[in-house]
Structure 1
Amino acid sequence: MPVTTQVKICGLSTPDTLDAAIAHGASHVGFVFFARSPRNLTPERAAGLASRVPGRVARVGVFVDPDDALLDAAIAAIDIVQLHGSETPVRLTEIRARWGKPVWRAAGVASAADIRAASLTAHGAALLLLDAKAPSSAPLPGGNGLRFDWRVLGGARPGMAWGLSGGLDADNVGEAIRIAGPGLVDVSSGVEDAPGVKSVAKIRAFLETVRTI
């Protein structure tokens, strides 16, 4: 696969791990705005981290069914809005128009049918992020360290720009890229020592692995 695969390190919450992601070549960094997540940031903390990010790296805000007040508070710290809840295509279009930012749509996948359905909910999105479908017992809609069978993409590729998430780490991201060929890979729990605790060493290893493919 091409060596131009982009990488988003998501759920960053400390200066040292953010700096590591930038120094080792991340194209995108993710800030989570979801109270139930161990990676949750207040808009104020996100703004402080965002000020450390150079213009060549895009800042992605991850939201789950956000209200307008949260978007208003967080929008200055981000370049891209990622929606990870039950937002409709109408809401997606509204967010893109009102706040003037590109919107990514994340969707849970377990089968080829899920990919086809996700493409419909992503109408108007700049990118569709395919994540492992969270079971009903999972605490979060994403960031659970789960993966789906990447081979299902062989017969059901999205008809738009897309990325791959869910259960990725330095040990399997090479296989994921070779099998699925995404334009972007997105990692969170796979570069952590504990939920919400990012590892500088794991961030470096993940990015170095992608660079060598």
Structure 2
Amino acid sequence: MAPEISVKICGLTTEDQVSAAAEAGARFLGFNFFPKSPRYVTPARAAELAAQVPVGVAKVALVVNASDEELEQIVSTVPIDILQLHGSEPPERVAQLKARFGLPVMKVIGVADEADLAAIDIYEPVADMLLIDAKPPKDAVLPGGNGLAFDWRLLAGRKYWTRPWMLAGGLTPENVAQAIAMTGARAVDVASGVERAPGVKDPALMAAFVQAASTGR
């Protein structure tokens, strides 16, 4: 029997999207607190959406170089299960936030070439989870959700990481099975790959993505 694949759908902005993502079988639902993103939600709005998340599905807060004050507002308003750090936060910051908020921390590692993989060894000792994503272009406004993929062959055969990790970057219902097969990922993350417009999730695409990730086709 093939190992179970967990799916995270990130950047949900409406109750209908939350329901559709959960019904599709996503195990992690992400709320984006980066104001420049088309998927941005305020803490108050995220709290309304989080109330619709079924028990057993993890609620993830995506932040980018957020201050302690910003994080305090998010955590005190929204029943978050995991903090996802998608900025340039150094390892010391990861450890500090884990200690301050008592929540698991997922650190995003941007990858464009093999040299970028060195960051995984740096963050693995302090992060609870890793999210290996495509590094954004130098002129990109968004740190993720750009629909870009990296060369998945860079991860082939790398089984030595001890932390749980997710694969992200340019994943779609059409290519997620191939990405899993090439990398050995046991968890995948998607945002733009299941949208019909920036920030607008498509229920059929979400269902197709989870199906493809789960069945390998």
TM (norm. structure 1) is 0.95
CA distance, structure 1, for counterparts of residue 149 and residue 51 of structure 2: 32
TM-aligned CA deviation for residue 121 of structure 1: 3.1
Residue 130 of structure 2 aligns with an amino acid whose one-letter code is L
Q: For residues 168 and 85 of structure 2, what CA distance do their matches in structure 1 show?
A: 14
- Specify the code of the residue in structure 2 equivalent to 1:18: V
- Relative distance call for 1:144 and 1:18 in structure 2 (3 A) is same
Identify which of 81, 84, 96 aligns with 2:83. 81
The aligned residue for residue 29 of structure 2 is 29
Q: Which residue of 1 aligns with 2:182?
A: 179
* Gap regions ≥5 residues in structure 2: none
- Indicate the SS of the match to 1:13: coil
- CA displacement at 1:87 relative to structure 2: 0.6
Deviation at 1:116, TM superposition (A): 2.0
Q: Which residue of 1 aligns with 2:48?
A: 48
Task: Name the % identity.
Answer: 49
- Alignment map for 1:12-161 (pairs within 5 Å): 12-75=12-75, 76-154=78-156, 156=158, 159-160=161-162, 161=164
Shift of 1:2: 3.0
Which residue does the alignment assign to 1:190?
193
Q: CA RMSD in A?
A: 1.4
- Residue 209 of structure 1 deviates from its aligned partner by 1.2
Structure 1 spans left out of the alignment, 5+ residues: none
| Distance 1:90-1:190 versus aligned 2 partners, 3 A rule | same
Secondary structure at the counterpart of residue 77 of structure 1: coil
Aligned to 2:212: 209
C-alpha distance in 2 between matches for 1:109 and 1:2: 27
- Output one character per residue of 1:136-163: Cα deviation in whole Å (capped at 9) or x when no partner: 1222111100000100112655623211
What TM-score does the superposition give when structure 2 sets the normalisation length? Answer: 0.94
Local SS of the residue matching 2:37: coil
Matched residue type, 2:208: A
Distance 2:166 2:208 in 1: 20
Secondary structure of 1:120's partner?
helix
Q: Say how many residue pairs are matched.
A: 213
Whether the aligned pair in 1 keeps the contact of 2:173 and 2:209 (CA below 8 Å) is yes
